[in-house]
Each structure stands twice: as C-alpha cells, then as structure tokens.
Amino acid sequence: MTTTRGRRSDAKSGPPRPRSSPLRNFDPISLLAVNMGVIGFMWVRHGGLARIDGLGDSLVALGQLAGLYAAVGLLLGLLLASRTPWLERRYGMDRMIHAHRLVGFTTVWLVIAHVVLVVVGFALAARISLWGQVVDTVANHPYVAQAVVGFVLIIVIAGMSVRAVRQAISYEAWWFVHITAYGAVALAFGHQTAIGADFVLDRWAWVYWSLLYLSVAYLIFVYRWVAPLFRAWQHRFRVEEVVDEGPGVATLVIGGRRLDAFRVQAGQFFLLRALTRGRWWKAHPFSLSGAPDGSTLRFTVKALGDDSTDLQTIPIGTRFALEGPYGGFLAHLPTDRRMLFIAGGIGITPFRGLIDDLDRPTDVALIYRNPSPDDTVFHEDLVRLAEEKGFDLHLSYSRFGGGGPNPFDPKRLRSLVPDIAEREVFVIGSPRLIDAARSGLRGAGVPTRRIHLENFAY
C-alpha cells in the first residue's frame, strides 16, 4: 500500500445542492404497513375470517388473502423500480434494486400460494378432481384465462431473474421478458375487478385499489418515461469529447443546452442511454467523475462488457438521454464530521468528483483498492490532487507484488485513519469489497449508522 499525505489548502464552496424532496421526512415503511393493515382489514370485513369453516373453504379464504398481498407485492415491485426521486434519495438505487428483487420473489410465492390454495379449496368444497376444478374455473369465470396468462408471465420473469439464469442469457432477452411485468399487472387488475370481493362487493374498496394501481402507474409513467424524454429534449445532451484515461478506461464529456440550470451535484450518477439504433433502449449507470462546471458533465467508463467498451469509441456528437441524477450519499452530505472514502476499481469515479467539489478536502481520507497500479483509474490525478487539496490518499493493491496487507483489517484501518471511529464513512465498490469494508469498519469501531454503502454493480 502507498500513502500520500496531503498539505492543507483553503476551502471552497460547492455548487448549489439539488432541491430536496418535501417528502424527505415521510416514512414509506409506515405507509406500506398502513396499506397492508387496510387490506387485511378489508379481507376480514368482506368475510375472510367467517369463511374459515371446513378445510376447503379455509383454503379458499387464505388463498384470497394471499392474492390480495400478491397484488400489493406486484405494485410495490414496480414502485421500487420507478426511479421515484423521493425514494431514491432516501434509500439509494442499489438498495431499492435489492429490495425490488426480494419483493419480486416473495410476490411469486404469494401468487403460487393464491393459485394452489384457491384451486385446491374449491375442488375440496365441490368434491371434484383438481383438473376438473381447473377446467371449470378457466371456462366459467371471467378474466381467469387472462389471469392464467399473467401467472405464466410472472413465473417466467422470476425464472429469468434467478442469478444463474440472468448471467447466462443476454441483456436483451432479460429486458424483453422483464417488461412484460406491466402486462402481468394489467391482467391482475382485470382479474380483481371481475371476481375479487374487494371490488365487486365494496365501492370504497374499489376506489382504494384503483388509486393504488393508478398511483404506481403515474410514478412509472412520469419518472421512467416522461422525465428522461423531457430532459433529453430540454438539454440536448451530446458527446463533445472522448478522453483516453488509460487501458480500457475513457471519459465521456457530455455537453448540452442550459446545463448551468441543470440541478446536479458531484457524487451523483445517471443512467446513460445513447440515442442510436440498437442502443436507445439500453441504460447503464455511470457516476460523474468531475464536479459539474455548468457547461459539461464528465463520465468515466471502464470496459467491463460490450456496451461499456462500445461507449469508449462512440462518435462525437452522439445524442444521449440521461436518467437522474441519482445518488443516495447526498442525503448524508455535507457533514460536520471528518470523512473516509473507500473505493474499489471504477467505483472511484463519484469520489473523484466529490473531491473536486468538497469545501473541506483536508478532512477527507481516501482508501482506493485495485488489483495493481495499472488498474488504478486516475492514479496520477489522485496523487496530484492529494498534494494540492490536502487529503490523505491510501492506494492498496490485492495482487501487485504478491498482494499488500489487507486494508480492511480493523487494526490496519485504525493505523491508516487513527480517528476512524469518529468519521463518516462512504463506500463504493463491488459486493465483495463492500462486505469486506463493512466488516472491517465495524471491527474498527465505526457505528453502523455512519457507514454508507453504494453497490457499484447493478
């Protein structure tokens, strides 16, 4: 490991922060809990408990409850992927994507439970075979055939989201199948409105459920579609320069109209979408690698796959759509505490922008982990900035020279940053680096509430 001790420099003020959401203090977990309680109450009010009399009827009642919560799960999964700024700024996109996956698989099991319990329950109550009940249900109940299609879609989506399957198929195939979730939700809504007790028997319940569906549809429409398209039209983002930063690494300099009015801050990231044939529907996350100057935005890209490799040779003038800005760290910045930044590989990019933008760079220490010096992005730049701005830079290598000492050993962390237990810590990197850093930081005495993590792998 190499260390550069910087000299102190005068502080500078950064650009204005993006507007914070008026909902920043509103607890979405409480909102979810209230909705779950209301739905459970509706089920009881519509005779759910009263129907638990005999095995067949009990299974049907429980199956209906599972179906109601499965519908909530579908909506919650879409909400977590809606790019809603209020939620993203509160939790960070990586945590929301993780929650999206957990909610998705939980919803699948609820859907399976709904189908199995209802079919078996009706078959027992009618004293007919399971196959006879399936045929009767599909043939004689409205929207059940559509619900079967929705059920199949949900199972296929879940199957292609399993990590092993996801890694074995192309992004294009995964994306095409995943967007059919919108169709599955539409079919579920039709199924509920046609035969669901919460719709058929209670006008207020119908209004309640309709508002849930419409609210989620509105958020997806506005933040996944309208906002990016409007921003692309308003600012006319385009590539102005491609800067070679070293083997497999390049910086895209993107300009546009009225960027001085674009509320963005160092440390944030965007989903970049090249508006060219074959690329317009692919969005990839990249962090700002320099402080916004009001006329350009800089994104440093490392060749980790076909798309990121192609972006390094993209023609000047190529138009882009930018979704964002995102970045959960900004909810914790600025802070009065001294800070520790920990980065791995290309995860250095948001910290590179923050260092340019901080008004107290001398209160920062940076631990940057790479396999070797050749893999270190911005190596010379970081050494120069450490000298000029006065922050402490610790470069660590896992393979070079047989591998240096583990920088995330608690004793090593306390040696590198003696006051580490008093600092606010920000970590960006691969899941493996994040796990190692989190464990070491806790062992070094850093309270969990002061460890802020952002997974750079989506």
Identify the structural domains of the chain with CATH numbers, from first to last.
2-13+330-455 (3.40.50.80), 46-230 (no CATH), 236-326 (2.40.30.10)
Q: What is the pLDDT of residue 7?
A: 54
C-alpha 333/C-alpha 452 separation (Å) is: 11
| Per-residue model confidence (pLDDT) at position 25 | 58
What pLDDT, on a 0 to 100 scale, did the predictor assign at position 436?
A: 93
What pLDDT sits at residue 191? 74
Alpha-carbon distance 288 to 232, whole Å?
17
Q: In angstroms, what CA-CA distances link 236 with 121, 321, 434?
A: 58, 8, 36
Q: How confident is the model at residue 18, as a pLDDT?
A: 57
Question: What pLDDT, on a 0 to 100 scale, did the predictor assign at position 194?
Answer: 65
State residue 15's pLDDT score: 43
Predicted local distance difference test score (pLDDT) of residue 24: 58
For residue 252, give the nearest of 315, 159, 178, 188 by alpha carbon. 315
Residue labelled with tokens 């294009």? 172
Q: What is the pLDDT of residue 458?
A: 46
What pLDDT is attached to residue 235? 92
pLDDT of residue 287: 84
Q: Cα(364)–Cα(371) distance, rounded to whole angstroms? A: 23
Instruction: Catalogue the long-range contacts made by 107-112 (C-beta closer than 8 Å, 24 or more residues apart).
Output: 107/70, 107/73, 107/74, 107/76, 107/77, 107/154, 108/154, 108/155, 108/158, 110/66, 110/67, 110/69, 110/70, 110/73, 111/66, 111/67, 111/70, 111/151, 111/154
Q: Kindly report the CA angle at 96 between 92 and 97, in degrees rounded to 5?
A: 120
- pLDDT value at residue 96: 85
Taking only the tens place, the pLDDT of each residue in 160-190 is 888 788 777 776 677 777 887 888 888 777 7
Reduce the DSSP state of residue 116 to 3 states and report it: helix
Q: What is the pLDDT of residue 373?
A: 85
Residue ranges of the chain with per-residue pLDDT less than 70: 1-26, 171-172, 193-201, 304-307, 328-331, 401-403, 456-458
Looking at residue 10, what is its pLDDT? Answer: 47
Nearest to 260 by CA among 235, 224, 229: 235
Please return the burial class of 117, using the count of CB atoms within 10 Å of its CB with bins 0-12, 13-18 and 19+: buried
The pLDDT value recorded for residue 442 is 95
